[in-house]
Amino acid sequence: MITSIGLNPCIDEVIRVKSIKPGHYDVKPQYFPAGSAFNVVQITNKLKKIGKIDTGVKAFYAGFIDKGKPYILLQKKKISTKYCIFISGETRINHTIVPSKGEEIHLKSDGPYITKAEYKKFENLFEQIIKNSNVIIISGKLPVNAKNNYYNKFIEKANNAGIFTAIDTRGETLKHAVTSRPFFLKCNLTELSFLLNKDRIKSVNEILEAENILRNIDIPIAVISGGKNGIYVFYKGKFMAQYKLSEEISTKSTTGAGDIILTYFSSLLDSVKRGTKKLNKETIHECAVYSAAYASASTLTSYPSVFNTKIAEKLLKKVITIKSKKKLDPI
């Protein structure tokens, strides 16, 4: 079982308008449970339904939500709330304005303060989560009043229990989290630049510097998402391959694409834990190809982590693998 932990999830409010010029518009907002933790559960359920991951994989959301709109949306999506702590504050709402032409506008909020009692409830609940999980994913930003190293205690407890852990976060929280040696790391170029203490990643050679971090900290699997250049996969501290489309596509939104990568690799780890697959270069390769194709398909829509299956299947045939460091595309 995969347990996807999100301690500061959000509700996405998507508003479509003809233009973003000053004026009055009649709108019909759409609301979606969002954030990596929710997305992983929804993606898992869809990939199981269409037979693209092991049908034995089960995913649950764990974390903080309020009993208003988030609870109603989870019920509509048939997402279990048995690992939820219901909080007194309100789950944050992120606003996405989608004009008929031009780029989207994203307005993101910090989210609620979590009380000491609510933190304690979740820490107690985590003991139950450990007993019932093969893989624990910890993703997204922390609540505004949490310490940057708050995720570490959960990674360490899970590691000690022999459970695979995966991390996908940012900033100082990411720097702290990797020191607890998660089994799987997923990050983008901005997050990698933070780990490498750089303003930004300027070359492929700088991406390959991740090998030093992965070996020193002992993170077995890592995936760096590089936008149009696809994904860079590292295994046992060494660069394994770059996976990208053979031709560039016109994207609408990259929001949530990384969550598909996170889901595919976590489902592989869950299958390994249940003994239905082995963890080796072959299974990682297969996982990476599907991740690259389905993540790319999701960028063709304006909705986070939503993809057209037929398009994704066509893109599968266009994923190329570059194993030689000398042949990697410049960024």
Nearest in space to 141 (alpha carbons), one of 181, 173, 165, 109: 173
pLDDT of 16 > 90? The answer is no
Burial of 89 (0-12, 13-18, 19+ CB in 10 A): middle
Alpha helices in 50-185 (DSSP H): 69-76, 116-131, 150-160, 171-178
Q: Torsions phi, psi of 10, nearest 5?
A: -145, 165
Average pLDDT value for residue range 191-219: 92
Q: Which amino acid is at 135?
A: V
Distance of CA 252 to CAs 98, 237, 283, 297, 301, Å?
A: 10, 33, 30, 10, 6
CB 9 within 8 A of CB 37: yes
Greatest Cα pair distance, the chain, in angstroms, is 59
- Residue 220, pLDDT score: 97
State the pLDDT confidence band at 306, using cuts at 50, 70 and 90.
Answer: confident
pLDDT of 302 > 80? The answer is no
Segment 128-182, tens digit of pLDDT = 999 999 999 999 999 999 999 999 999 999 999 999 999 999 999 999 999 999 9
Q: How many C-beta atoms lie closer than 10 Å to residue 16's C-beta?
A: 16
Residues whose CB is less than 8 angstroms from the CB of residue 263 and which lie 6 or more positions away in sequence, other chains included: 39, 40, 43, 44, 47, 53, 59
Look up the CATH superfamily of 2-327: Ribokinase (3.40.1190.20)
DSSP class per residue in 227-296 = GGG-EEEEETTEEEEEEEESS----S--TTHHHHHHHHHHHHHHHHHHTSS--SHHHHHHHHHHHHHHHH
User: Which pairs with CB-CB distance under 8 Å and at least 24 residues apart come from 80-84?
Assistant: 83/3, 83/125, 83/128, 83/129
- Residue 103, pLDDT score: 77
- Residue 42, pLDDT score: 93
Tell me, yes or no, if the pTM score tops 0.75: yes
How long, in residues, is the chain? Answer: 331
- Residue 304, pLDDT score: 73
State both tokens at 64: 């903080």
Burial of 133 (0-12, 13-18, 19+ CB in 10 A): buried
State both tokens at 97: 């304005």
- 19-28, 165-174, 194-203: segment of lowest average pLDDT: 19-28
Across the chain, what does the average pLDDT equal?
93
Segment 313-328, tens digit of pLDDT = 999 999 999 999 989 9
Residues 205, 211, 216: CA angle, nearest 5 degrees = 140
d(CA 7, CA 75): 19
Nearest in space to 138 (alpha carbons), one of 327, 196, 58, 129: 129
Residue matched to tokens 């990208």: 244
DSSP 91: P
- Residue 154, pLDDT score: 98
Q: Torsions phi, psi of 211, nearest 5?
A: -55, -40
Residues 285, 331, 107: CA angle, nearest 5 degrees = 90
pLDDT of 289 > 90? The answer is yes
d(CA 110, CA 101): 28
